[in-house]
Structure 1
Amino acid sequence: MPENDPRPHPPLKDSGGDRWARWTGGRAGPVLLFACAVVEGCLVPAPTEAVFAALAIARPRRAWALGALAAAGSVLGGVIAWHLGATAFDRYGQPLLARYGLMGELEALGALYRRNAALALLTSGYTPVPYLLYGTVGGATGVPLGTFVVFCALGRGLKYAVLAGVARIAGPPVRRWLARNPRRIALVVTAVALIVLGAWMI
Protein backbone atom coordinates (compact mmCIF):
# COMPACT_ATOMS: atom_id res chain seq x y z
CA MET A 1 0.00 0.00 0.00
CA PRO A 2 1.49 3.43 -0.89
CA GLU A 3 2.69 5.53 2.02
CA ASN A 4 0.39 8.44 1.09
CA ASP A 5 -2.68 6.22 1.05
CA PRO A 6 -4.99 7.62 3.80
CA ARG A 7 -6.20 4.15 4.73
CA PRO A 8 -4.50 2.39 7.69
CA HIS A 9 -1.70 -0.01 6.96
CA PRO A 10 -2.94 -3.60 6.82
CA PRO A 11 -1.80 -5.78 9.71
CA LEU A 12 1.34 -7.81 9.18
CA LYS A 13 0.41 -11.33 8.16
CA ASP A 14 2.18 -13.60 10.57
CA SER A 15 1.45 -13.92 14.28
CA GLY A 16 4.66 -12.19 15.36
CA GLY A 17 3.96 -9.37 12.92
CA ASP A 18 0.37 -9.12 14.12
CA ARG A 19 1.58 -8.58 17.68
CA TRP A 20 4.09 -6.01 16.49
CA ALA A 21 1.43 -4.14 14.49
CA ARG A 22 -0.96 -4.07 17.45
CA TRP A 23 1.79 -2.85 19.80
CA THR A 24 3.04 -0.07 17.52
CA GLY A 25 -0.46 0.96 16.47
CA GLY A 26 -1.98 0.98 19.94
CA ARG A 27 -1.44 3.00 23.08
CA ALA A 28 1.30 0.91 24.65
CA GLY A 29 4.01 2.03 22.24
CA PRO A 30 3.59 5.81 22.69
CA VAL A 31 3.25 5.36 26.47
CA LEU A 32 6.52 3.42 26.56
CA LEU A 33 8.19 6.07 24.38
CA PHE A 34 7.12 8.91 26.68
CA ALA A 35 8.13 6.95 29.78
CA CYS A 36 11.56 6.16 28.32
CA ALA A 37 12.10 9.81 27.45
CA VAL A 38 11.21 10.94 30.98
CA VAL A 39 13.38 8.27 32.59
CA GLU A 40 16.29 9.11 30.29
CA GLY A 41 16.15 12.71 31.46
CA CYS A 42 16.24 12.09 35.19
CA LEU A 43 17.07 8.52 36.17
CA VAL A 44 18.80 6.16 33.72
CA PRO A 45 20.31 6.41 30.21
CA ALA A 46 17.30 4.71 28.56
CA PRO A 47 17.36 3.90 24.79
CA THR A 48 14.65 6.40 23.84
CA GLU A 49 15.89 6.74 20.26
CA ALA A 50 15.60 2.97 19.74
CA VAL A 51 11.98 2.93 20.94
CA PHE A 52 11.20 5.99 18.81
CA ALA A 53 12.77 4.41 15.73
CA ALA A 54 10.79 1.19 16.18
CA LEU A 55 7.49 3.07 16.48
CA ALA A 56 8.16 5.66 13.78
CA ILE A 57 9.31 3.10 11.23
CA ALA A 58 6.26 0.95 11.89
CA ARG A 59 3.92 3.95 11.56
CA PRO A 60 5.74 6.58 9.44
CA ARG A 61 2.71 8.87 9.19
CA ARG A 62 2.82 9.27 12.97
CA ALA A 63 6.55 10.04 13.08
CA TRP A 64 6.12 13.78 13.73
CA ALA A 65 3.62 13.24 16.55
CA LEU A 66 5.86 10.57 18.09
CA GLY A 67 8.84 12.92 17.83
CA ALA A 68 6.92 15.65 19.64
CA LEU A 69 5.90 13.16 22.33
CA ALA A 70 9.51 12.01 22.82
CA ALA A 71 10.78 15.59 22.98
CA ALA A 72 8.11 16.54 25.55
CA GLY A 73 8.96 13.55 27.74
CA SER A 74 12.65 14.32 27.46
CA VAL A 75 12.14 17.92 28.58
CA LEU A 76 9.95 16.80 31.47
CA GLY A 77 12.61 14.35 32.61
CA GLY A 78 15.23 17.08 32.36
CA VAL A 79 13.11 19.43 34.47
CA ILE A 80 12.76 16.74 37.15
CA ALA A 81 16.54 16.29 37.15
CA TRP A 82 17.02 20.08 37.28
CA HIS A 83 14.83 20.37 40.37
CA LEU A 84 16.56 17.48 42.09
CA GLY A 85 19.96 18.92 41.22
CA ALA A 86 18.94 22.32 42.55
CA THR A 87 17.39 21.08 45.78
CA ALA A 88 19.02 17.73 46.59
CA PHE A 89 22.29 17.45 44.69
CA ASP A 90 24.24 15.89 47.57
CA ARG A 91 21.53 13.34 48.29
CA TYR A 92 20.39 12.63 44.73
CA GLY A 93 22.74 14.05 42.13
CA GLN A 94 26.12 12.84 43.32
CA PRO A 95 25.10 9.21 44.02
CA LEU A 96 23.26 8.97 40.70
CA LEU A 97 26.08 10.42 38.63
CA ALA A 98 28.63 8.30 40.49
CA ARG A 99 26.55 5.22 39.72
CA TYR A 100 27.00 5.83 35.99
CA GLY A 101 30.62 6.99 36.22
CA LEU A 102 29.79 10.59 35.31
CA MET A 103 31.43 12.46 38.17
CA GLY A 104 34.41 13.22 35.95
CA GLU A 105 32.11 15.17 33.59
CA LEU A 106 30.89 17.64 36.22
CA GLU A 107 33.63 20.23 35.86
CA ALA A 108 33.60 20.15 32.07
CA LEU A 109 29.82 20.55 31.84
CA GLY A 110 29.80 23.23 34.55
CA ALA A 111 32.42 25.19 32.56
CA LEU A 112 30.36 24.75 29.39
CA TYR A 113 27.28 26.09 31.15
CA ARG A 114 29.24 29.11 32.35
CA ARG A 115 30.48 29.85 28.83
CA ASN A 116 27.18 29.38 26.99
CA ALA A 117 24.33 27.55 28.68
CA ALA A 118 22.00 27.97 25.70
CA LEU A 119 24.45 26.34 23.29
CA ALA A 120 25.17 23.52 25.74
CA LEU A 121 21.47 22.70 26.00
CA LEU A 122 20.80 23.06 22.27
CA THR A 123 23.50 20.50 21.50
CA SER A 124 22.80 18.15 24.43
CA GLY A 125 21.10 15.64 22.16
CA TYR A 126 24.13 15.25 19.93
CA THR A 127 26.87 14.49 22.45
CA PRO A 128 27.86 11.21 24.12
CA VAL A 129 27.15 12.73 27.55
CA PRO A 130 23.94 11.22 29.03
CA TYR A 131 21.09 13.72 29.09
CA LEU A 132 20.38 13.24 32.81
CA LEU A 133 23.74 14.90 33.52
CA TYR A 134 22.59 18.13 31.85
CA GLY A 135 19.54 18.51 34.06
CA THR A 136 21.24 17.54 37.31
CA VAL A 137 24.26 19.79 36.77
CA GLY A 138 22.06 22.57 35.40
CA GLY A 139 20.07 22.70 38.60
CA ALA A 140 23.15 22.37 40.80
CA THR A 141 25.04 25.17 39.02
CA GLY A 142 22.17 27.63 38.89
CA VAL A 143 21.17 27.56 35.22
CA PRO A 144 17.81 29.40 35.20
CA LEU A 145 14.87 27.02 34.84
CA GLY A 146 13.37 29.11 32.02
CA THR A 147 16.61 28.96 30.04
CA PHE A 148 16.84 25.24 30.67
CA VAL A 149 13.29 24.52 29.49
CA VAL A 150 13.39 26.74 26.38
CA PHE A 151 16.70 25.53 25.01
CA CYS A 152 16.14 21.90 25.96
CA ALA A 153 12.81 22.04 24.12
CA LEU A 154 14.49 23.53 21.05
CA GLY A 155 17.39 21.08 21.10
CA ARG A 156 15.36 17.96 21.78
CA GLY A 157 12.64 19.05 19.39
CA LEU A 158 15.15 19.54 16.57
CA LYS A 159 16.74 16.17 17.27
CA TYR A 160 13.45 14.29 17.06
CA ALA A 161 12.29 16.33 14.07
CA VAL A 162 15.34 15.10 12.15
CA LEU A 163 14.73 11.52 13.26
CA ALA A 164 11.05 11.81 12.32
CA GLY A 165 12.00 13.06 8.86
CA VAL A 166 14.28 10.06 8.37
CA ALA A 167 11.50 7.73 9.54
CA ARG A 168 9.03 9.30 7.09
CA ILE A 169 11.41 8.63 4.21
CA ALA A 170 12.87 5.29 5.26
CA GLY A 171 9.90 3.92 7.18
CA PRO A 172 7.88 2.21 4.40
CA PRO A 173 10.71 0.02 2.97
CA VAL A 174 12.02 -0.83 6.44
CA ARG A 175 8.52 -1.69 7.58
CA ARG A 176 8.15 -4.10 4.65
CA TRP A 177 11.43 -5.74 5.63
CA LEU A 178 10.25 -6.06 9.24
CA ALA A 179 7.04 -7.67 8.04
CA ARG A 180 9.12 -10.42 6.48
CA ASN A 181 11.30 -10.86 9.59
CA PRO A 182 9.07 -11.17 12.69
CA ARG A 183 11.72 -13.08 14.65
CA ARG A 184 14.17 -10.24 14.24
CA ILE A 185 11.51 -7.85 15.50
CA ALA A 186 11.18 -9.94 18.65
CA LEU A 187 14.95 -9.93 19.09
CA VAL A 188 15.12 -6.14 18.77
CA VAL A 189 12.32 -5.58 21.28
CA THR A 190 13.92 -8.05 23.71
CA ALA A 191 17.31 -6.37 23.33
CA VAL A 192 15.84 -2.94 24.11
CA ALA A 193 14.12 -4.32 27.21
CA LEU A 194 17.33 -5.97 28.40
CA ILE A 195 19.33 -2.76 27.88
CA VAL A 196 16.87 -0.80 30.03
CA LEU A 197 16.85 -3.48 32.72
CA GLY A 198 20.63 -3.83 32.68
CA ALA A 199 21.23 -0.08 32.94
CA TRP A 200 18.85 0.09 35.89
CA MET A 201 20.46 -2.79 37.76
CA ILE A 202 24.12 -1.84 37.24
Structure 2
Amino acid sequence: MSWFRNLYNWVLSWAQTKYGGSFLFVLAFTESVFFPIPPDILLIALALGASQKAFKYALICTLGSVSGAFVGYAIGNYAWLTDSGEFSAFANFFFDTIPGFSIGLYESIRSLFVEWDFWVIFTAGFTPIPYKVFTVTAGAFDINLAMFALASIVSRGARFFLIAWLIWKYGPSIKVFIEKYFNLLALSATVVLIGGFVLIKYII
Protein backbone atom coordinates (compact mmCIF):
# COMPACT_ATOMS: atom_id res chain seq x y z
CA MET A 1 0.00 0.00 0.00
CA SER A 2 2.96 2.34 -0.56
CA TRP A 3 1.00 4.09 -3.33
CA PHE A 4 -1.72 4.96 -0.82
CA ARG A 5 0.81 6.36 1.67
CA ASN A 6 2.40 8.41 -1.11
CA LEU A 7 -1.02 9.72 -2.10
CA TYR A 8 -1.77 10.52 1.55
CA ASN A 9 1.49 12.46 1.92
CA TRP A 10 0.85 14.30 -1.35
CA VAL A 11 -2.54 15.45 -0.07
CA LEU A 12 -0.98 16.65 3.19
CA SER A 13 1.73 18.56 1.32
CA TRP A 14 -0.91 21.00 0.07
CA ALA A 15 -1.29 22.34 3.60
CA GLN A 16 2.14 23.96 3.19
CA THR A 17 1.14 25.94 0.10
CA LYS A 18 -0.93 29.07 -0.45
CA TYR A 19 -3.39 26.94 -2.42
CA GLY A 20 -4.30 24.75 0.56
CA GLY A 21 -7.85 26.11 0.89
CA SER A 22 -8.55 25.75 -2.83
CA PHE A 23 -7.21 22.21 -2.90
CA LEU A 24 -9.32 21.37 0.17
CA PHE A 25 -12.42 22.21 -1.86
CA VAL A 26 -11.22 20.07 -4.76
CA LEU A 27 -10.32 17.19 -2.45
CA ALA A 28 -13.67 17.28 -0.66
CA PHE A 29 -15.45 17.47 -4.01
CA THR A 30 -13.67 14.52 -5.59
CA GLU A 31 -13.83 12.39 -2.42
CA SER A 32 -17.63 12.54 -2.65
CA VAL A 33 -17.42 10.95 -6.11
CA PHE A 34 -14.38 8.67 -6.34
CA PHE A 35 -11.19 9.86 -4.57
CA PRO A 36 -9.96 7.46 -1.81
CA ILE A 37 -8.41 10.00 0.61
CA PRO A 38 -10.90 11.75 2.95
CA PRO A 39 -10.67 15.56 3.17
CA ASP A 40 -10.47 15.44 6.97
CA ILE A 41 -6.70 15.01 6.92
CA LEU A 42 -6.10 18.21 4.97
CA LEU A 43 -8.77 20.04 6.98
CA ILE A 44 -6.95 19.09 10.20
CA ALA A 45 -3.56 20.15 8.83
CA LEU A 46 -4.85 23.51 7.57
CA ALA A 47 -6.79 24.25 10.75
CA LEU A 48 -3.78 23.42 12.91
CA GLY A 49 -1.67 25.78 10.83
CA ALA A 50 -4.16 28.64 11.25
CA SER A 51 -6.70 27.87 13.97
CA GLN A 52 -8.39 31.27 13.51
CA LYS A 53 -9.40 30.05 10.04
CA ALA A 54 -10.60 26.63 11.22
CA PHE A 55 -14.29 27.35 10.62
CA LYS A 56 -13.56 28.92 7.24
CA TYR A 57 -11.81 25.71 6.21
CA ALA A 58 -14.72 23.65 7.58
CA LEU A 59 -17.11 25.67 5.39
CA ILE A 60 -14.90 25.20 2.33
CA CYS A 61 -14.75 21.46 3.03
CA THR A 62 -18.52 21.23 3.48
CA LEU A 63 -19.27 23.16 0.28
CA GLY A 64 -16.83 21.03 -1.70
CA SER A 65 -18.15 17.77 -0.31
CA VAL A 66 -21.83 18.60 -0.84
CA SER A 67 -21.13 19.90 -4.37
CA GLY A 68 -19.36 16.63 -5.14
CA ALA A 69 -22.28 14.72 -3.65
CA PHE A 70 -24.61 16.24 -6.26
CA VAL A 71 -22.23 15.15 -9.00
CA GLY A 72 -22.15 11.64 -7.54
CA TYR A 73 -25.96 11.66 -7.42
CA ALA A 74 -26.14 12.79 -11.06
CA ILE A 75 -23.73 10.06 -12.12
CA GLY A 76 -25.85 7.45 -10.40
CA ASN A 77 -29.06 8.90 -11.79
CA TYR A 78 -28.00 9.33 -15.41
CA ALA A 79 -24.99 7.10 -16.07
CA TRP A 80 -25.36 4.05 -13.83
CA LEU A 81 -27.67 1.88 -15.90
CA THR A 82 -28.07 1.41 -19.62
CA ASP A 83 -31.42 1.82 -21.37
CA SER A 84 -31.90 -1.94 -21.06
CA GLY A 85 -31.40 -1.80 -17.27
CA GLU A 86 -27.92 -3.34 -17.26
CA PHE A 87 -24.97 -1.85 -15.40
CA SER A 88 -23.17 0.66 -17.59
CA ALA A 89 -19.43 0.69 -18.25
CA PHE A 90 -19.21 3.50 -15.72
CA ALA A 91 -20.92 1.39 -13.04
CA ASN A 92 -18.60 -1.53 -13.72
CA PHE A 93 -15.65 0.86 -13.39
CA PHE A 94 -16.83 1.72 -9.87
CA PHE A 95 -17.27 -1.94 -8.97
CA ASP A 96 -13.77 -2.70 -10.23
CA THR A 97 -11.91 0.23 -8.68
CA ILE A 98 -13.57 1.20 -5.37
CA PRO A 99 -12.49 -1.29 -2.65
CA GLY A 100 -15.40 -3.23 -1.19
CA PHE A 101 -17.99 -1.77 -3.55
CA SER A 102 -19.57 -4.88 -5.04
CA ILE A 103 -22.88 -5.68 -6.69
CA GLY A 104 -23.88 -7.38 -3.46
CA LEU A 105 -23.19 -4.21 -1.47
CA TYR A 106 -25.07 -2.20 -4.06
CA GLU A 107 -28.18 -4.34 -3.57
CA SER A 108 -27.81 -4.17 0.22
CA ILE A 109 -27.70 -0.37 0.04
CA ARG A 110 -30.95 -0.44 -1.95
CA SER A 111 -32.63 -2.15 1.02
CA LEU A 112 -31.15 0.38 3.43
CA PHE A 113 -32.52 3.28 1.41
CA VAL A 114 -35.99 1.75 1.37
CA GLU A 115 -35.96 1.39 5.17
CA TRP A 116 -34.00 4.43 6.35
CA ASP A 117 -33.70 7.01 3.50
CA PHE A 118 -32.45 10.21 5.30
CA TRP A 119 -30.48 8.31 7.92
CA VAL A 120 -28.53 6.31 5.35
CA ILE A 121 -27.08 9.49 3.83
CA PHE A 122 -26.59 11.07 7.25
CA THR A 123 -24.67 8.05 8.52
CA ALA A 124 -22.48 7.89 5.41
CA GLY A 125 -21.81 11.62 5.61
CA PHE A 126 -20.97 11.82 9.30
CA THR A 127 -19.12 8.57 9.88
CA PRO A 128 -16.09 6.95 8.18
CA ILE A 129 -18.35 4.91 5.88
CA PRO A 130 -17.29 5.72 2.26
CA TYR A 131 -19.56 8.63 1.36
CA LYS A 132 -18.98 8.26 -2.40
CA VAL A 133 -20.66 4.84 -2.44
CA PHE A 134 -23.86 6.37 -1.10
CA THR A 135 -23.91 9.54 -3.20
CA VAL A 136 -23.76 7.49 -6.40
CA THR A 137 -26.24 4.84 -5.27
CA ALA A 138 -28.67 7.51 -4.06
CA GLY A 139 -28.83 8.76 -7.64
CA ALA A 140 -29.05 5.24 -9.05
CA PHE A 141 -32.04 4.51 -6.79
CA ASP A 142 -33.60 7.92 -7.56
CA ILE A 143 -33.71 8.96 -3.90
CA ASN A 144 -35.61 12.19 -3.23
CA LEU A 145 -33.18 14.97 -4.13
CA ALA A 146 -34.31 17.44 -1.47
CA MET A 147 -33.92 14.82 1.25
CA PHE A 148 -30.53 13.85 -0.15
CA ALA A 149 -29.39 17.48 -0.13
CA LEU A 150 -30.57 18.08 3.44
CA ALA A 151 -28.95 14.90 4.77
CA SER A 152 -25.69 15.70 2.97
CA ILE A 153 -25.49 19.29 4.23
CA VAL A 154 -26.33 18.34 7.81
CA SER A 155 -24.01 15.33 8.05
CA ARG A 156 -21.01 16.73 6.18
CA GLY A 157 -21.33 20.10 7.92
CA ALA A 158 -21.62 18.47 11.34
CA ARG A 159 -18.53 16.35 10.76
CA PHE A 160 -16.25 19.07 9.41
CA PHE A 161 -17.36 21.83 11.77
CA LEU A 162 -16.95 19.50 14.74
CA ILE A 163 -13.36 18.83 13.69
CA ALA A 164 -12.77 22.57 13.24
CA TRP A 165 -14.26 23.35 16.65
CA LEU A 166 -12.10 20.75 18.38
CA ILE A 167 -8.95 22.21 16.82
CA TRP A 168 -10.04 25.81 17.50
CA LYS A 169 -10.82 24.92 21.12
CA TYR A 170 -7.92 22.63 21.99
CA GLY A 171 -5.25 23.29 19.37
CA PRO A 172 -2.50 20.80 18.45
CA SER A 173 -3.13 18.71 21.58
CA ILE A 174 -6.35 17.37 20.07
CA LYS A 175 -4.75 16.17 16.81
CA VAL A 176 -3.83 12.68 18.02
CA PHE A 177 -7.26 12.24 19.58
CA ILE A 178 -9.04 13.19 16.33
CA GLU A 179 -6.87 10.90 14.22
CA LYS A 180 -7.27 7.91 16.57
CA TYR A 181 -10.79 8.19 17.94
CA PHE A 182 -12.90 10.69 15.99
CA ASN A 183 -14.30 8.18 13.50
CA LEU A 184 -15.19 5.74 16.26
CA LEU A 185 -16.93 8.45 18.27
CA ALA A 186 -18.77 9.71 15.17
CA LEU A 187 -19.99 6.20 14.41
CA SER A 188 -21.06 5.65 18.02
CA ALA A 189 -22.91 8.96 18.14
CA THR A 190 -24.76 8.10 14.93
CA VAL A 191 -25.78 4.70 16.26
CA VAL A 192 -27.12 6.31 19.43
CA LEU A 193 -28.96 9.02 17.47
CA ILE A 194 -30.60 6.63 15.04
CA GLY A 195 -31.32 4.20 17.86
CA GLY A 196 -33.20 6.95 19.68
CA PHE A 197 -35.41 7.62 16.68
CA VAL A 198 -36.04 3.90 16.19
CA LEU A 199 -37.06 3.63 19.82
CA ILE A 200 -39.42 6.58 19.50
CA LYS A 201 -40.88 5.06 16.33
CA TYR A 202 -41.74 1.79 18.07
CA ILE A 203 -42.94 3.43 21.30
CA ILE A 204 -45.26 5.82 19.48
Could you tell me which residue of structure 2 aligns to residue 186 of structure 1?
Answer: none
Q: Is 1:129 matched with 2:120?
A: no
Q: 1:46 to 1:22 in 2, by over 3 A?
A: closer
Q: Does 1:81 align with 2:72?
A: yes
* TM-score, normalised with respect to structure 1: 0.69
Q: Flag the structure with larger Rg.
A: 1
Q: Report if the CA contact (8 A) 2:24-2:42 is conserved.
A: yes
Alignment partner of 1:163: what SS? helix
Aligned length: 154
* Structure 1: stretches of 5+ with no match in the other structure: 1-18, 176-202
* SS, match of residue 69 in structure 1: helix
- Unaligned stretches of 5+ in structure 2? 1-12, 81-87, 176-204
Q: CA–CA distance in 2 between the matches of 1:113 and 1:37?
A: 24
Q: Where has structure 1 moved over 4 Å in runs of 4 or more? A: 19-22, 172-175
Identify the residue that residue 196 of structure 2 maps to in structure 1: none
Change (3 A) 1:156 1:21: closer
**8 Å CA contact retained: 1:71, 1:153:** yes
Please state how far the C-alpha of 1:20 moved relative to its aligned partner. Answer: 8.7
* Residue in 2 that maps onto 1:169: 169
* Pairwise CA RMSD: 2.2
Identity %: 25
**What is the alpha-carbon distance in structure 2 between the residues aligned to residue 20 and residue 33 of structure 1?**
8
Partners of 2:61 and 2:90 lie apart in 1 by: 24
Find the aligned partners of 1:163 and 1:174 in 2 and give their Cα distance. 10
What's the counterpart of residue 94 of structure 2? Answer: 96
Deviations 1:133-190 (A, max 9, x none): 1111000011022211111001100011110111102325689xxxxxxxxxxxxxxx
Shift of 1:126: 3.8
Check conservation: 1:37, 1:74, Cα contact below 8 A.
Answer: yes
8 A contact 2:166–2:174 mirrored in 1: no
Cα distance between partner residues in 1 of 2:165 and 2:125:
16
Q: Deviations over 1:49-70 (max 9, x none)?
A: 1010000111111111110110
User: Residues 171 and 97 of structure 1: is their aligned pair in 2 closer, same or farther, counting only changes over 3 Å?
Assistant: farther
Equivalent residues of 1:33, 1:51 under 8 A apart: yes
Does residue 145 of the first structure (1) align with residue 148 of the second (2)? Answer: no
Give the conservation status (yes or no) of the 8 Å contact 2:95–2:101: yes
Displacement after TM superposition at 1:109 (Å): 1.7
Task: After TM superposition, give the deviation of residue 82 of structure 1 in Å.
Answer: 0.5
Aligned residue identity for 2:74 = H
Higher relative contact order (CA 8 A, sep 6+): 1
Deviating more after overlay: 122-131 vs 53-62? 122-131
Partner secondary structure for residue 102 of structure 1: coil
Matched, 1:51 2:42: yes
Of 55, 58, 63, 1:67 maps to: 58
| TM norm structure 2 | 0.69
Q: What SS is found at the alignment partner of 1:98?
A: helix
Amino acid at match of 2:48: I
1:35/1:65 Cα in 2 relative to 1: closer, same or farther (>3 Å)?
same
